[in-house]
């Protein structure tokens, strides 16, 4: 995403997330982790529909691999269930996670950059 800078990286999930999407996500996250040591991540779920079953293994592996490398995880969405996903994901994907409604996207970026 265009506001990505320094050790903060943003991704927008559109439609169904597939295993192939992790082939894009993982190298970018790994490159920034290699450069910075730890990172902050924004996931924009406003256009997200679901994650294909084939992607679940890649998702779990991502959390296992990067949980200690992601200092902050901001999830931006517009649905209450996305807020609950943030709470459930917190201990598995990052050291700290917060949910931001779509009208607070700027606040999400600001929090990540603090």
Query: Is residue 56 one of the residues assigned to a domain?
Result: yes
Look up the CATH number of the domain holding residue 89.
Answer: 3.40.50.10600
Query: Is residue 57 one of the residues assigned to a domain?
Result: yes
Query: Is residue 2 one of the residues assigned to a domain?
Result: no
Q: How many domains does the chain have?
A: 1
Residue 72 belongs to domain spanning: 8-113
User: Measured between alpha carbons, how far is residue 2 from residues 12, 33, 48 in Å?
Assistant: 11, 19, 18
Give the Cβ contact number of residue 38 at 10 Å: 15
Torsion 7-102-52-56 (CA) sign: positive
**Per-residue model confidence as pLDDT tens digits over 15-71:** 999 999 999 999 999 999 999 999 999 999 999 999 999 999 999 999 999 999 999
Predicted TM-score of the model (pTM): 0.92
**Per-residue model confidence as pLDDT tens digits over 64-114:** 999 999 999 999 999 998 999 899 888 899 999 999 999 999 999 999 999
């Amino acid at each position: 995403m265009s506001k990505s800078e320094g050790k903060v990286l943003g991704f927008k999930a559109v439609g169904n997330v597939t295993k192939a999407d992790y082939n894009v996500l993982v190298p970018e996250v790994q490159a920034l982790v290699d450069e910075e040591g730890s990172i902050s991540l924004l996931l924009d779920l406003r256009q997200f529909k679901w994650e294909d079953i084939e992607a679940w293994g890649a998702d779990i592996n991502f959390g296992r691999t990067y949980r200690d490398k992601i200092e902050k995880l901001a999830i931006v969405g517009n649905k209450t269930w996305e807020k609950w996903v943030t709470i459930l994901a917190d201990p598995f994907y990052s050291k700290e996670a917060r949910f931001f409604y779509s009208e607070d996207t700027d606040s999400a970026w600001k929090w990540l950059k603090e």
